[in-house]
Amino acid sequence: MDLKWNLNALYNDFNGQYQDDLYKLEELIKEYDNFSVNGLSCNPESILLKYIELNEKINILSGKLYAFPALIHSADTKNETAEKYLDAIEQLLTRLTPPNVRFKKWLKNIDQLDALAKKNEKIKENFFHLIEQQKEANYILSDGEEIVVANMRLTGGEAWSRLHGKLTSNLMVSVCLNEKVKKIPLSEARNLAYDKSPSVRKHAYEQELAAYNKIENAMALSICSIKREADFTNRYRGYNSSLEKTLFDSRISSDTLQAMLDAIKKYLPEFQRYLKKKAEYLGYNNGLPFFDIFAPVGEFNKTFSYEEAQKIIIENYRSFSISLSEFAEKAFKENWIDVEPREGKKGGAFCYNLPFINESRILTNFTGSFSNVSTLAHELGHGYHGQVIAEESPLNRGYPMPLAETASILCETIVMNNLLQSLEDSETLYVLENSLSTSTQVIVDIFSRFEFESELFDRAKSASLSSKELKEMMLKAQKQAYGGGLDHSYLHPYMWINKPHYYSPDLHFYNFPYAFGLLYAKGLYALFLKDKDIFVKKYDEMLRQTGKNTIENIALMMGIDTTRGDFWVDSLEIIKKEIDRFCELIDKKNT
């Protein structure tokens, strides 16, 4: 079985077809640029149709050309050829800035979009995208300023982000395993947090923190530079803050975000209760040390082969829908997944949707833990979302971050809930704890990251912060979120290095979307259990609509009002019941 993904559906190499498509993209961008200069004086209907035609072609071709080196580089950050083409494509795509600015400025003054959409089916199909472009026109700068911003980004935020990826993916951690000292990649060292041995978990945690010393100053400069660049640019455009920009891009209202955050704050003591109970089970008196957050609980002390993980996912997906199960089978069979950790490979996991070929590629660092199985189910959920939305036109495939996490977390829930139905108490405790561990990360840890990033943006406006200051801020945020659930003597001051989301120059506050996705998915799963057949039909249609509507309207399709606190409370109550069950099982085990 091949444990590396196959990219041949994109290109075989950087020669031949890749070079031909690169030339075609250059010509399309020239045509679009010429159109934006000389073609905006025709009748509005013709202009809109030409814009849609050109941008659909550019979207497909640029997506394919960028994905190939991006995926190669993710699996092997030492591949200099892939890095060269990433730079080349990014540089080429900056040429889209002038025509985009010109078109948006023209579109800003068009007040007949409704009438044109009723008249022309193609315009109607892309109506939401056009409305979004019209709204964005309120935040664009002059032609020259936009060109400067786009080009400076390449040597600013993009460069700092690339540095983070390169340093963390090649950071080796010295650990002692089986009485032998060996150097392993950071991603592999972090996976030792799931090890059966308490001494291995603690040792890996200590060595991980020690390894960050080598890069912490460079990473402090990187993260502050990225945030300062974003803050200045967003405010200069007219946003009140980078959070406002994120809400706009996410198509989510501040009312929805605030309703969710208020509910989370209310339920933090419940998560802290879970952590204290886990600490009690593991023999701690002052809360759980950070290195044991992922410590296995229960007697389901087995690892899973990749073949076993596939079987678990395919079978449990089938309980939801045949189409979801068949999608997973296809992904496994056609080698869409790069499975194991290795030096030079990026840590963590992600799914890269490739709608232009109706496929996806998934990167994991699978070592056999139950958490790895859950992660694989999660990423395949992203892929299924990509398959459904691939049926839409190219300009309607870009869904916002909060909804991006919905399909993936729902798939995790499907796998976990089905497993729980046929387990003994000790096994139930294991799977239930794994679910609660994930929920705690997505709710509590992400709440701490939201608080940290909020303070980072506020303080980095005037000056860069030292690694010492960043560590203090992270510890403060963790104490605020975890409370007495964690032992304050053993926290993780370097989470600002470990989480790559902080280093995306275009995605800020990429934390609350995960909390939204988890709680929204929990609520959706409850609806699924009430009426499975009707829900699945509505669910696929909801996913299909995610590229062309606001989050509030998408939720209303399922009968949910996200601006009301009661929906979020109901979802958190589902997790609270899991916590109650977990505590009952621990108490039963101790009696």
Instruction: Answer yes or no: is pLDDT of 194 > 90.
Output: no
Instruction: Answer yes or no: is pLDDT of 91 > 80.
Output: yes
What pLDDT score does 418 carry?
81
Helices 370-389 and 306-318 sit at what angle, rounded to 10 degrees? 50
The pair of three-digit structure tokens given for residue 104, joined into one six-digit string: 């948006």
581 against 416, higher pLDDT: 581
What pLDDT score does 591 carry?
72
Q: Which residues contact 577 (CB under 8 A, 6 or more apart)?
A: none
Average pLDDT over residues 291-302: 84
Instruction: Answer yes or no: is pLDDT of 511 > 90.
Output: no
Residues 531-546: tens digit of each pLDDT: 888 898 899 999 999 9
458 against 461, higher pLDDT: 458
Give the integer Cα–Cα distance in Å for 204 and 176: 8
List where CATH 1.20.140.70 sits in the chain: 17-155
Residues 241-279: tens digit of each pLDDT: 999 999 999 999 999 999 999 999 999 999 999 999 999
The second-level CATH assignment, the architecture, of 17-155 is Up-down Bundle (1.20)
Instruction: Answer yes or no: is pLDDT of 421 > 80.
Output: no
Residues 463-491: tens digit of each pLDDT: 889 999 999 999 999 999 999 999 999 99
- What is the pTM (predicted TM-score) of this model? 0.82
Taking all residues of the chain, what is their mean pLDDT, rounded to a whole number?
Answer: 93
Q: Which residues contact 569 (CB under 8 A, 6 or more apart)?
A: 263, 266, 267
Mean pLDDT is lowest, of 416-425, 458-467, 473-482, 522-531, for 416-425
Instruction: Answer yes or no: is pLDDT of 347 > 90.
Output: no
What pLDDT score does 74 carry?
94
Helix (H) or strand (E) holding 184: strand 180-185
User: 3-state class of 367 per DSSP?
Assistant: coil
What pLDDT score does 105 carry?
92
Fill in the DSSP letter of residue 502. Answer: G
Give the integer Cα–Cα distance in Å for 117 and 126: 9
Q: What is the DSSP string of 189-243?
A: HHHGGG-S-HHHHHHHHHHHHHHHTTTHHHHHHHHHHHHHHHHHHHHHHT-S-HH
Give the integer Cα–Cα distance in Å for 27 and 21: 10
Q: Which residues of 196-208 are buried (b: 16+ CB within 10 A; e: fewer)?
A: eeeebbbbbbebb
Residues 393-411: tens digit of each pLDDT: 999 999 988 898 889 989 9
Residues 357-394: tens digit of each pLDDT: 999 999 999 998 877 898 999 999 999 999 999 999 99
Average pLDDT over residues 289-311: 89
Query: Confidence band (pLDDT; 50, 70, 90) for 582?
Result: very high
What pLDDT score does 301 carry?
64
The pair of three-digit structure tokens given for residue 149, joined into one six-digit string: 């911003």
Backbone angles phi, psi at 90, to 5 degrees: -60, -40
Instruction: Answer yes or no: is pLDDT of 302 > 80.
Output: no
Query: Confidence band (pLDDT; 50, 70, 90) for 143?
Result: confident
96 against 369, higher pLDDT: 96
Residues 214-243: tens digit of each pLDDT: 999 999 999 999 999 999 999 999 999 999
Q: Which of 215, 260, 149 is nearest to 509 (CA)?
A: 260
Residues 126-136: tens digit of each pLDDT: 999 999 999 99
Give the integer Cα–Cα distance in Å for 41 and 358: 37
Q: Which of 73, 58, 64 is nearest to 27 (CA)?
A: 58
Instruction: Answer yes or no: is pLDDT of 29 > 90.
Output: yes
